[in-house]
Amino acid sequence: MLCLLAATVPWHRSVGFANGLHCPYNRLSSSTREPPPRRLLLERKLLYRFEKYVLDTDRRELRLGADLVALPPQAFDIIVYLIRHRERVVSKDDLIAAVWGGRIVSDAALTTRLNGLRKAIGDSGVAQRLIKTLPRKGMRFVGAVCEGEGLANPHAVGMQRLKASPAIQEQPSIVVLPFTNLSGDPHQDYFADGVVEDIITELSKFSDLFVIARNSSFTYKGRPADVREVGRDLGVRYVLEGSVRRAGSRVRITGLLVDAESGTHIWADRFDSLLEDVFALQVQMAQTVVGAVAPRLERAEIERARRKPTESPSAYDCFLRGMAGWHDWSRDGHDAALKQFYRSIELDPKFARPHALGAGCYLMRKSNGWVVDRAVEIAETDRLARLGANLGREDAVALAWSAHALAHVVGDIESGRALVDYSLQLNPNLAVAWQRSGWIRVYAGECELAIEHLQTAMRLCPLDPLMHLAQSAAAFAYFLVGDLQQSSLWAERALEMRPDWPAALRVSAMSNALTGREWAAHKAMTRLRTLQPGLRLSNLHEQMFLQRPEHMAKFVEAMRKAGLPE
**Alpha-helical segments (H) within 263-395:** 278-307, 315-326, 331-347, 352-368, 374-391
Using DSSP, state whether 354 is helix, strand or coil. helix
Q: At a CB cut-off of 8 Å and minimum separation 6, what does 326 contact? A: 333, 334, 337, 357, 360, 361
Residue 372 is given by DSSP the state S
Please list, residue by residue across 207-243, b when 16 or more beta carbons sit within 10 angstroms of its beta carbon and e when fewer do: bbbbbbbbebbbebeeeebebeebbbbbbbbbbbbbb
- For range 214-233, the mean pLDDT: 81
Measured in degrees and rounded to the nearest 5, phi and psi for residue 22 equal -70, 135
pLDDT of residue 165: 40
pLDDT, position 510 = 95
* Least confident range of 142-146, 337-341, 550-554: 142-146
560 pLDDT tier (thresholds 50, 70, 90): very high
% the chain with pLDDT above 90: 33
What does 503-535 look like in DSSP terms, one character per residue? HHHHHHHHHHHHTT-HHHHHHHHHHHHHH-TT-
Helices 502-514 and 484-497, axial angle in degrees (round to 10): 150
- Length of the chain equals 566
What residue ranges define each of the domains in the chain, with the CATH number in brackets? 5-164 (1.10.10.10), 173-307 (3.40.50.10610), 308-428 (1.25.40.10)
Question: Is the pLDDT at 135 greater than 50, yes or no?
Answer: yes
| Residue 172: per-residue pLDDT | 78
Give the highest mean pLDDT range of 14-23, 209-218, 360-369, 462-471.
360-369
Tens of pLDDT, residues 519-546: 999 999 999 999 999 999 999 888 888 9
In this prediction, residue 45 carries a pLDDT of: 45
pTM, to two decimals: 0.62
pLDDT category at 142 given cuts 50, 70, 90 is confident
- The reported pLDDT for the residue numbered 281 is 67
**Quick one: which of 63, 57, 16 has its CA closest to 36?**
16
pLDDT for 405-428, tens place per residue? 999 999 999 999 999 999 999 888
Distance between the two ends of the chain, CA-based, in angstroms? Answer: 77
Mean pLDDT of 50-68: 80
Distances 302 to 3, 172, 206 between C-alpha atoms, Å: 42, 11, 17
Strand partners, 273: 251
What pLDDT score does 44 carry? 36
Tell me the per-residue pLDDT of 429-476, one tens digit each, with 9 for 90 and over: 788 899 999 999 999 999 999 999 999 888 877 767 778 999 999 999
Tell me, what's the pLDDT at 446? Answer: 95
* Stretch 61-85: mean pLDDT: 84
Predicted confidence at residue 465, as pLDDT, reads 73
The CA R_g of the chain, rounded to the nearest whole Å, is: 28
Res 237: pLDDT: 84
Distance CA 437, CA 354 (A): 20
Closest to 16 measured CA to CA, from 31, 40, 37, 33? 33
Q: What is the pLDDT of residue 18?
A: 31
**What does the mean pLDDT of the chain come to?**
80
Helices 431-444, 413-426: axis angle to 10 degrees equals 150
